[in-house]
Structure formats: structure tokens, C-alpha cells
Structure 1
Amino acid sequence: MAVTQRRSRRIMMTDEERDAYLARQRTCRVATVGADGRPHVGALWFCWDGASLWLYSITRSLRWSQLRRDPRIAVVVDDGVEYGELRGVELSGDAVFVGEAPRTGEPCPELDAPERLFAAKYFGMETMPHDARHAWLRLTPDAVTSWDFNKLPGPPGA
């Protein structure tokens, strides 16, 4: 990743922990920037290939039109209920549109791996079903920050 996390290194996930965490989690929150500069945040399914986050978005969504105008994006994946259980990853950079939009299943070698990962994760299938409403966004992050409060010494909240 381009930027190394400086703050809170003691609670930072290792690369292996981060990859395993992102493989298990199902929902992320995606922030985009509107023409007026205001952020828009929405939940979305994703898959992580170890280098890029792949987002399968409706092409007629506000998110899609905002990214067409301004590709900057930030994504948070987090979980935990009690303070000592809080974990998460924030990724940011520029979104890239990959494949046809909307996606109908035309051959696109760059999408072979993410579509296999996504289909297995969400549908329990080997091949990706296409609905001609969604298409792919790839975020290869410029910056990644992670946290795992389980790594804090002492009692939770101390």
C-alpha cells in the first residue's frame, strides 16, 4: 500500500490479518463526493483480492454517477459491539470502472478472479450471475488504515 499507517501501530492489523478480515466481512460502507462537495455514504457488498477492493454497484445509483464525475472514494469495513471487540479497515483512493457497464457477462479477463471470489462469497456459486444492472468498480487503495482493539493491553476501555 502507498501510505503506511503511523498512528496506533499497536492496534494495526498485519497484512495477513487484514486480508483474512476482509475475506470474511460481507458489507462495507462506501463514501463518494457529490458535485456540491458533500459526501454520500452507502452500504455495498465487496470482495478483496489481496491488493484491490472490488465493488459491484448498480450503475444507475448516485454512487456511480458521483464516481463518474469524481473518482475519489473511501471505504470502511468494520465490526464489533463492545469497545475491546472493535475492528476495521479503511481504504481510500480512486475508483476505476472495469468491464462493461452494466455488466452482462462479456469476456473480461480482469474480472475473472473478482467474479469468482464474489460469486463464492455471496451466492455460494462458482460463476457470477449477471443482471444487466450492476457493474464493477476497483479500488486499489492509496491509503489503508486498520484497527483491532483486541490488541489493546488491559481491560477494555482502559
Structure 2
Amino acid sequence: MEITQSGRRGPARRTRATLERLAAERDIWVSTAHPEHGPHQVPLWFLWDGRAVWVCTAETSVTIRNVRADPRVRLALPDTADVVTLAGRAECFASRDVPEEAAEAFTDRFGWDPRAATKPHVYVRVTPATVRAWHGVPELRGRVIMRGGEWLGRAPETA
């Protein structure tokens, strides 16, 4: 992603840019940890539904094992020059239990329906409690744009 802005964005501009990226990007780094096996990080396709991030992976994956042991997760968009990180709690849904709206949106976005996979898959919904966004040193201060599940800066309606 190319950064064309210079200077420091305020909370509203950061929030708007973050929401646009969450709606547009396909890949997100998912970081989990298990009390006995330690940390694990993997890139997965994701869907932002306006309130939460949805990912899907095999039922036997390390990610699912870890989330079931400790639902705290961290997520990061892949661009290290324009950083967006989310921290929140994950909730697992077997394919048969996932809300239809989420499963259909995931299928529409990626052209793949995990419910029809030969091996069982689990959908994971991560509801963010904290979101940080910044690009460059000028934005290190004030990088928290969501705290306690509440956006700190209202995204303006227009650019």
C-alpha cells in the first residue's frame, strides 16, 4: 500500500482509513497463544462485518487449538508502513453453527465455502476491544483509535 498522506492524521481520519482498509483487504495476521505450546502466528483470509473480524481455518489447526485454550487474540494487517493492529476475544463456530449471514458473506468474498470443505473448518469471530493505527513516527502518539470496544474518533461522513 502506498502512503500519500503526509503529517499526522487525527483520530477521525485514522478511524475512517482503518475501516476502509478492514473492508477492502483480504489477509490478516492472526496471533494466538497456548499456555503449554506458546505463541503462534498465521496469515488468513478475513472478513470485516462492521463490528468484528471473521476468519476460517481447519478444525485441527493450531489457531483453533489455541483459541479454545485462550480466546485472547491479536490481529494485524500486513502493511508495516501503515500499521493497523486489533486485539480482542475470539469465539469459535463450527460450520453447522456459524451465523448464515457471516458464512454467506465469507463465501461471497472469497469464492470458497468452508462449510463444503472435505475436512471440518471452524469460523472464528474476533470482536476487537482495542485498535491501533499509525503510519510513521508522527502518528505514534495517539495511535489507539478504539479502546474498550469503543471508537475514539468518529469517522467523518465525507473525505
TM normalised by structure 1 equals: 0.69
Q: Distance in 2 between matches of 1:115 and 1:140?
A: 16
Equivalent in the alignment of 1:14: 14
Higher RCO, Cα 8 Å, sep 6+: 1
Matched, 1:27 2:15: no
Residue 95 (structure 1) aligned with residue 90 (structure 2): yes
Residues in 2 aligned to 1:90 and 1:11: alpha-carbon distance in whole angstroms: 17
Which region of structure 1 is more displaced relative to structure 2, 130-139 or 47-56?
A: 130-139
> Does 2:42 correspond to 1:42?
yes
Q: Mind listing any 5+ residue stretches in structure 1 that lack a counterpart?
A: 1-8, 81-85, 153-158
Cα distance between partner residues in 1 of 2:135 and 2:55: 24
Flag structure 2 segments of 5+ consecutive residues without an equivalent. 1-7, 140-159
Aligned length in residues: 129
Identical counterparts, % of pairs: 26
1:135 equivalent in alignment to 2:122? yes
- TM-score of the aligned structures, taking structure 2 as reference length: 0.68
SS at match of 1:138: strand
Give the C-alpha shift of residue 33 in structure 1: 0.8
* SS in structure 2 of the partner of residue 79 of structure 1: coil
Moved over 6 A (4+): none
CA shift, 1:32, in A, is 0.6
Q: Per the alignment, in what secondary structure is the counterpart of residue 118 of structure 1?
A: helix
